Structure 1
Amino acid sequence: MASAFDIEEIYPDDGEHSLRLPRRQAGNSPQGLAVTLLADYTLWTRAALPSAAIVALLTETGVTTAGARTAISRLARRGVLERSRQGRHSSYRLSRAAAANLSAGGNWILTSTTATAWDGCWTIVAFSLPQDLTARRRALRGQLRWLGYAPLYDGLWVSPHDLTPPARAQLEQLAPGAVTVFRGREVALDVAGRRAPVEAWDVDGIGRHYQEFLRRWTPLLPRVRSGQVEGAAAVRARTEVMETFRCFPTLDPQLPVVLLPQGWLRQPARELFAAVYDGLAAPAEEHVRAVVGRFSDTARSGVRAHTTADLLAGVRGDDAGGIHGDQDGPACR
């Protein structure tokens, strides 16, 4: 079974706001960290931050100065960042497409880790593509992963959720004439070797990821609540908890609790994430403002941390620097 951590993009592509976000890598990549930092503190406003301030914040996370500058440059070439100049000084802000994509992605992270009712039916996607169409096969499999599917067999992927219209359109575009979709209940066979649909996921492995997440972050929570995590440490911890938790919607795409082991840790992990992420919002924002203020008095006013409640409501900066609800933004998936 392929690991969900191998998926190339941080967030699923949105058809209306298509752009190439950084590839997922083992560990934290400079580009990924830069995107997370800018999203966490400027998604509301799409504020332009001095490049020197972005570099300074990235170096506090362990990225080298050269690596930070390269990451910013590459993100601008990808269309994730927009560059502006004032004399010899450059500033960067999230592009409108990136802000919309990241807003949808943040909402997706939280809604996808919320338990929902299940009607007992499975959606089955069967496809057949020639072996020589390697790139198309990889793209189709990657998109199916982002849509919450897993391979029960090589060319047969399953999900406990219905196929949404946006997902249907994406599959038609990626593999026209090569995909068939069904939805129905499993007919259990009383035979040895029967494979249940939920076995398309490594349930035990997902459980271990939840356990590791809880082990890593539970000891920090009392210090967060007592205000002992401040400055650069608050920014680093908030960035890391987001970088880690964002993997769970793909690992565990709202798998029906009735099919999972008793005491499934999805909800405790989600609650812990929210407590750490929201609890560090104020001290992290204060530090980011201070760092940005060393390079620009005006840019610091555009720094604003959002919470998990904001992500659920839908936040997206526009060209006027405003914030809008999700009804005007891209569809969540």
Structure 2
Amino acid sequence: MNPFSLEAVLPDIATESVRLPRRQTGGSPQDTAVTLLADYTLRTRGWLPSAAIVELLGEAGVSTGNARTAISRLAHRGVLESRQHGRRTAYRLTTAAATALSIGGRALAGFTTQAESWDGQWTVVAFSLPHGSDAQRRALRGRLRWLGFTILYDGLWVSPQELPDRKATELADITGGAITVFRARHVEFGSIATRDPLAAWDLAAIAGEYQAYVEQWEALLPRVRAGDVVGPEAVRTRTEVMDAYRQFVVLDPRLPQRLMPPGWPRERAREVFVAVYDGLAGAALTHVTEAVARRGGTMTPDVATHSVADLLDGPQVVPEGSASTSSMVSRKSPVAGAGA
């Protein structure tokens, strides 16, 4: 079971001016670069020297050549913008990318709460495509999966989440209009065999993904709490724990815990994610600040971290034309209450 596109956690936003990279198993250099910049410059939109980004990506296992290529492609996609600072080139997130990532961060931080507030209705998408429309069918299925839908029957997809009008229009464009979207409640027919919409998800496989996540990162918690994870390891770990957690926004059916199988590990996975991500904020920020200062010459490092709780506040992005300043909030110590 693989993570999907970053589009999966960027709900109902205009993305014509910014094309975030599609996620790959294990994370691509572009994925890693986007997560790295978002973790330390999302709200300040601070400028980072190209050499510092390359160095930090190198510490995450990305070769120098691949790091430079990733930066160039992200600039071409409208994710990054550049400027010259003396003889050095610096990059920062564009306003569009920072806003999109901030909205996605809010969805990621709050999807467990969203699940508990479900209204009991399903979004149902039905479509019909003629024989020979394989390309359209693949595109539609891929888009539906990125939006959190899964297949219940041939040509019938379901999700507990509402589908914004803009996203429904995108689906209609793919099918040429041969699609119907509606919200409905599941009705039991007594003794007549029916398939519960929840059965469309492979719950055992998803629970396995959750459990693997918990086992991997829970083992690190004693070192995080003791302050033993520092330097490049802190930055790399914080990036990896975020990238790995992001997939659950799409994989999980996002239904109330009471409707899921006993012992559903969603809450424990979130607790572990928060404990590691927030717990490493101070150590990771220290290392990023040092890398930027070392590679930036006279540039003043303008980096800041945010907690998972901060992400719930949604977009608070420095707008285009505004100079990001180091006077903005910069968390330089571990976030309180990060323990699980």
TM-score by length of 2: 0.87
Give the Cα separation in 2 of the matches to 1:119 and 1:94. 36
2:27 aligns with 28
1:58 aligns with 57
* Residue 263 of structure 1: how far off its partner (Å): 1.7
Q: Does 1:43 align with 2:50?
A: no
CA distance 1:321–1:226, shift in 2 (3 Å): farther
Counterpart of 2:69 in structure 1: which amino acid? T
1:16 aligns with 14
Counterpart of 1:65 in structure 2: which amino acid? T
Q: Does 1:236 align with 2:236?
A: yes
CA distance 1:118–1:245, shift in 2 (3 Å): same
1:5 aligns with 3
Q: What is the alpha-carbon root mean square deviation over aligned residues?
A: 2.3
Does 56-65 or 124-133 show the bigger shift? Answer: 124-133
Give the Cα separation in 1 of the matches to 2:288 and 2:259. 43
Counterpart of 1:12 in structure 2: which amino acid? L
Is the Cα–Cα contact under 8 Å of residues 10 and 23 in structure 1 kept in the other structure? no
TM-score by length of 1: 0.88
Is the Cα–Cα contact under 8 Å of residues 10 and 21 in structure 1 kept in the other structure? no
* Residue 135 of structure 1: how far off its partner (Å): 4.2
Give the Cα separation in 2 of the matches to 1:4 and 1:178. 29
1:123-167 per-position Cα deviation (integer Å, ceiling 9, x unaligned): 211011235444443343333223322111231011123334444
Is the Cα–Cα contact under 8 Å of residues 109 and 312 in structure 2 kept in the other structure? yes
The correspondence of residues 114-193 of structure 1 with structure 2, limited to 5 A, is: 114=113, 115-189=115-189, 190-191=191-192
CA distance 1:100–1:302, shift in 2 (3 Å): same
Is the Cα–Cα contact under 8 Å of residues 50 and 91 in structure 2 kept in the other structure? yes
1:251-284 per-position Cα deviation (integer Å, ceiling 9, x unaligned): 0141232331112111111111111101111110
Q: Percent identity?
A: 53
The correspondence of residues 179-258 of structure 1 with structure 2, limited to 5 A, is: 179-189=179-189, 190-191=191-192, 194-258=194-258
- Aligned residue for 2:92, secondary structure, equals strand
CA distance 1:23–1:184, shift in 2 (3 Å): closer
Q: Tell me, which stretches of 5 or more residues in structure 2 are unaligned? A: 329-340
2:105 aligns with 106
Give the Cα separation in 2 of the matches to 1:251 and 1:300. 40
1:328 aligns with none
Q: How many residues align?
A: 321
Give the Cα separation in 2 of the matches to 1:140 and 1:299. 46
2:73 aligns with 74
1:20-68 per-position Cα deviation (integer Å, ceiling 9, x unaligned): 1112112121111011100100111111111111000000011111111
1:88-122 per-position Cα deviation (integer Å, ceiling 9, x unaligned): 42111111111111111111111223242333332
1:95 aligns with 94
2:85 aligns with 86
Counterpart of 1:259 in structure 2: which amino acid? L
CA distance 1:298–1:126, shift in 2 (3 Å): farther
